[in-house]
Structure 1
């Protein structure tokens, strides 16, 4: 399963298992990729899949060996491969890199703390520099897969779904201009859980009525290409009015059976 989210949170979510879902891949935007994070994902046996907006000039690819050696084997690949990998530094720090990965994987260190230390240190240690070197190699391998395999470019579609979900949460969390003003951690947690509950309820509602709408379209127009459904997000919100007074007639809702009738588009039969 792919988890679309910001990289710092995504690293913690993947490594420290904030979710019970079997997540193995993390999709992120172009700005959220760093070489150190690429390295940490590879060492902990997860996959970092960022969207690459400008492969020609946006990132630097890394190579093993000198530029002359690379140009001799791949005469058309010398110019893009401007970065080099210090294999000796990686080899000397490999044991420390594995120990850091084990600390993350088994919860002895928090991913957010490690990533913050790696990115804020003014004078990088040998371990930090080795992680950057190894991350350059891992990002190059990912970029090559991104170019060669069209299936790898599904990241954009996954991120669009994640962004639509974030937009739904922002629209629902309109009170106090979207800020959590509770003083105590327990109250802030309750507020966040309530937002998740409402968001999940809307997604469940949308999913159920999507199925009814698809069945209705299948009866009228015949078979629907299921591959098209991969482009549909259940985080629609145009029909949701978050403002006003809320009533919760629990008994009446329990007594309700079946679904509401589907609304027909204007001008349809």
Structure 2
């Protein structure tokens, strides 16, 4: 499962060769590298990286965005959710807590109404319609209590993620191999042992963080609610190991707060690439496995030795740790908490030294390869744009949580993540239709421009104050909505 040799010498020899090649490649390219250079600061050599300049947006991209925005149909959020259910059947994943085979009439509409009320933080009263059986307050309350929970939200979310990844004619946003993790902060206005304090984010109160794992296709494949602002690194592996979609992300991007030698070691053992966007690059330490290898100008920074003997001595322990994580005998976050309280343990030190190999490779590649830096920056921007959509959705009650218990927080924020994914699926499908229409009319659509379109836009979606669930004949299962005429007067 791990593709690791039981003999540590074999693994360390292979990793040592890869690390040597990465050092030497950067050293060879350093004279022509316009961004990276070796500088002496306070008598010590430092590898310094200049910030990449922002890419100019070509006129063709700006025009394409205008063309797409002018053609996307305007839609109310309830209609959007029912559209996506017709395409994917995601609401069918909501099964009764105890009577799993029982079904009631128009259940998908009731489920979508409950999900909307949770995602918009407006309460059930805002979506209730007493004159309709599916939207009566008693029905919605019953559905909320018996159908909407973490298990069914995760199953419905998997349907959306898998559907979006198979849509034809989408821009080449990615294949699902790259992902990122970052947290949205929410103040909790009620007393709860499951929230934590942080004056920077919550003022004098307390709150929680909703960690989102977002694929390069924009959809979120996993979410975790944690008290306060605990470091993302504690939960970074949980999202990759526990997610239940068909996506297979191999590279995870994060901010500096999620990085440590221990995390690099665990990611490397499990075959994942950890690519955090690190702060304070000139002060970082660089490590080597082979003491005698010549790295040219980089010898001045490659002054720290990785203890290969320590790694070899505890190789069986490291394999046991990795095997326990892959077979889900233990959660990664629980394991990291245990290892974190025993920093002087020889096993922990061996894992940290193993992590220094991939950590150094990441630093060297980040300085050497502008494409690698751009992938990281692009995915981080996508994550931030998704947070903006989440804030626009979660607009009721001043965007503050009022759940006392962890299960309630997980259900509500899980519903928020699910509705965001529904918006992404709906936008993705209509973006592909718009691009097809433009091409049919003879317009040349540059694939590089199409890649920079985003399904996170929501100006055409009515998010606030109109929560009536009713559909007319234009949204029958065999039909899609009409694209807008960009020359028609806007109503």
TM-score tier after normalising by the smaller chain length: 0.7 to 0.9
Structure 1 residue runs of 4+, over 6 Å off? none
Corresponding residue number in structure 1 for 2:238? 12
Flag structure 1 segments of 5+ consecutive residues without an equivalent.
none
State the SS of the aligned residue for 2:248.
coil
Q: Deviations over 1:5-33 (max 9, x none)?
A: 14433311112335442222212223322
After TM superposition, give the deviation of residue 220 of structure 1 in Å: 5.6
After TM superposition, give the deviation of residue 34 of structure 1 in Å: 1.3
Which moves more between the two structures, 2-11 or 248-257? 248-257
Aligned counterparts of 1:188 and 1:132: Cα–Cα separation in 2:
34
After TM superposition, give the deviation of residue 249 of structure 1 in Å: 0.6
State the SS of the aligned residue for 2:300.
coil
TM-score normalised by L of structure 2: 0.48
Contact 2:275 2:376 in 1 (8 A): yes
Which moves more between the two structures, 249-258 or 231-240? 249-258
Structure number, greater radius of gyration: 2
After TM superposition, give the deviation of residue 219 of structure 1 in Å: 4.9
TM-score normalised by L of structure 1: 0.83
After TM superposition, give the deviation of residue 46 of structure 1 in Å: 1.4
Say if 2:248 is the partner of 1:22.
Answer: yes
Say if 2:417 is the partner of 1:196.
Answer: yes
Corresponding residue number in structure 2 for 1:137? 357
The 1:114/1:80 distance shift into structure 2, 3 A limit, reads same
After TM superposition, give the deviation of residue 202 of structure 1 in Å: 1.5
State the SS of the aligned residue for 2:486.
coil
After TM superposition, give the deviation of residue 102 of structure 1 in Å: 0.8
After TM superposition, the structure 1 = structure 2 runs for residues 168-207 of structure 1, keeping only pairs within 5 Å, are 168-207=389-428
After TM superposition, give the deviation of residue 112 of structure 1 in Å: 0.9
Contact 1:169 1:195 in 2 (8 A): yes
Aligned counterparts of 1:253 and 1:201: Cα–Cα separation in 2:
19
Corresponding residue number in structure 1 for 2:459? 238
Q: Deviations over 1:203-240 (max 9, x none)?
A: 12221332233234435663222123332221113334
Contact 1:157 1:231 in 2 (8 A): no
Which moves more between the two structures, 144-153 or 166-175? 144-153
Q: Which has the higher contact order (CA 8 A, sep 6+)?
A: 2
After TM superposition, the structure 1 = structure 2 runs for residues 106-117 of structure 1, keeping only pairs within 5 Å, are 106-117=327-338
Aligned counterparts of 2:236 and 2:244: Cα–Cα separation in 1:
10
| Counterpart among 438, 446, 456 of residue 225 in structure 1 | 446
Aligned counterparts of 1:124 and 1:232: Cα–Cα separation in 2:
49
Corresponding residue number in structure 2 for 1:36? 262
Corresponding residue number in structure 2 for 1:62? 287
The 1:201/1:162 distance shift into structure 2, 3 A limit, reads same
State the SS of the aligned residue for 2:445.
coil
Q: Deviations over 1:108-130 (max 9, x none)?
A: 111111223334x2643111111
> Which structure shows the bigger proportion of residues in helix conformation?
1
Aligned counterparts of 1:46 and 1:76: Cα–Cα separation in 2:
30
